[in-house]
Amino acid sequence: MNHFRHSRIFRVKEGTVVFRKLPLINKSAKGFNSDSCGYLVQRPMAAAETLIQKIGKAVKEVAKTRSSEWWYTPHMAAASRAIDERIPLVDLVLEVRDARIPLSSEYLQLRKFPSSSRRVIVLNKMDLANRPQTKEWLRFFEEQKCMAFGVNSHNRENIREFLTFLQGRVRELKKKDGTAHAITLMLVGIPNVGKSALANSLHQVGRIAAAEKGKLKHSVVSPQPGETKSISSLKIASHPNIYVLDTPGVLPPNVIDDGICSKLALTGAIKDSVVGEIQLAEYFLSILSLSDEYKKWGTLPGFETRQVLSNEGISNPDNRQKRQYPTDHTQDFIVNNVRRTLFDTVSSFTGCIESGKDLARLIEQELEVLRKVFHLPLESEESSYFRAATKLLNLYRTGRLGHYTLDSLPSNDPTLSPWL
Ligand SMILES: Nc1nc2c(ncn2[C@@H]2O[C@H](COP(=O)(O)OP(=O)(O)OP(=O)(O)O)[C@@H](O)[C@H]2O)c(=O)[nH]1
Ligand SMILES: [Mg+2]
């Protein structure tokens, strides 16, 4: 259920969205509680406020002191100029956003240009976001008269549908303009939203004949942001010929608010080292602990936590294999163990997780059990927690710890819409 549909944003401050209390909203609804003023506050943001502020501060600090290397890099500045020059020339601009953060991943530089029917918002990484919320977001963009499409660049069927949609748009454009030239589409967006992966997938699906001859081109795809350094062109269809331009990811020149910084960092648009892996893992744990996702994991086959907690029997890898991983893939067992352990830790926690202090205590406990689940000995405290955090982030970013949409839908009040 979407808790935002009947509410009106009353006051928005960094990291916390506060809604006017309306009778239609169920106060006990997941993720909400009432603050002292009687407003409905989105719980995750409020309880994790300190963490969000810390992350925002870390990003701002780095952007201020080492901006040329970490935030708005020289290659981004150059790419931004090159993209700006091409925007009026291309037939269609595909603004790629991360489906987990449909608002926070906006490519802000597009606002300089008048809104146009030659633009499509592409919510990529749909497989990692909350599916019903992605549908709500797509409906929202439609209501705002923005064409939008949700995709998973790793799913061939999905890419085929997207290509058919693009070809339909191209036919409409050709009818309208009577153009006979080849059509050029340009992918733009912040770093790491999957522009290159999308360009490659469209190229592979649209160029079957070339694929069969082993003549495909490749844009570099990487889990690290800022990997694409120049604009490249890939053909994605014939009759009519359609080309897609893959471009480098560009962040806004000025650092934005703490809430947005935190979400960009967690989803990987900013290098992890800017904020620190442990802090990012803590932020993810706060989201997980305040969501309903972990509750599904209570039905997983019981994990023998005691074994892990005491490190009993894990020194001998053979024992571990026999006892805990009898038949299935080791990775699946680790994922199940992580899920089950997080479920046990959150559900047995006796504090009040809506309070920032208690939430911090819970997160500390979660990191400790994770360190043990990942079999990381406590030789040097820092590195074992760092490694546990890295592993946890990796599981989250590959969708194995649930599907979270971190941005909340704005109200239907057009004056508050960032697109108008
Ligand atoms: N789960 C999932 N992962 C994706 C998807 N699209 C891309 N990725 C992954 O996201 C990471 C970044 O992808 P890229 O295509 O390099 O992102 P980019 O926007 O080109 O990044 P820059 O070139 O740095 O701007 C890679 O690890 C991809 O495999 C998707 O739809 N779903
Ligand atoms: Mg790229």
Structural contact between residues 289 and 297, judged by C-beta atoms closer than 8 angstroms: no
Does residue 282 have a pLDDT over 60?
yes
Confidence at residue 378, expressed as pLDDT on a 0 to 100 scale: 80
Confidence at residue 3, expressed as pLDDT on a 0 to 100 scale: 34
Does residue 347 have a pLDDT over 50?
yes
Confidence at residue 45, expressed as pLDDT on a 0 to 100 scale: 59
Structural contact between residues 258 and 270, judged by C-beta atoms closer than 8 angstroms: no
pLDDT band at 256; cut points 50, 70, 90 = confident
User: Phi, psi (5° rounding) for residue 238?
Assistant: -120, 160
The crossing angle, in degrees rounded to 10, of helices 330-347 and 277-289 is 60
Low-confidence winner among 226-240, 255-269, 300-314 (lowest mean pLDDT): 300-314
pLDDT band at 159; cut points 50, 70, 90 = very high
Here the tokens at position 367 are 């990191």
For the chain, the domains span 1-44, 72-254, 276-397
Q: In what order do the strands lie in the sheet with 242-246?
A: 147-150, 119-124, 92-98, 183-188, 242-246, 232-237
d(CA 14, CA 36): 18
What is the rounded average pLDDT of the residues 180-193?
94
| CB-proximal residues (5 Å) to ion ligand 2 | 195-196, 228
Planar angle of CA 109, 111, 117, nearest 5 degrees: 120
Ligand 2 mean position to 231 CA, how many Å? Answer: 9
Q: Which CATH superfamily is domain 72-254 in?
A: P-loop containing nucleotide triphosphate hydrolases (3.40.50.300)
Instruction: Tell me the whole-structure pTM to 2 decimals.
Output: 0.83
Q: What confidence tens digit (pLDDT) does each residue in 37-76 have? A: 233 334 445 778 889 999 998 888 887 775 556 788 888 9
Confidence at residue 133, expressed as pLDDT on a 0 to 100 scale: 96
Does residue 336 have a pLDDT over 70?
yes
What is the rounded average pLDDT of the residues 82-100?
97
Confidence at residue 413, expressed as pLDDT on a 0 to 100 scale: 47
| Residues at CB less than 6 angstroms from ligand 1 | 124-125, 127-128, 152-154, 189, 191-197, 221-223, 225-228, 248-249, 399
Which of 149, 221, 247, 264 for mutating ligand 1's site (highest number of atoms within 8 Å of CB)? 221
Does residue 81 have a pLDDT over 50?
yes
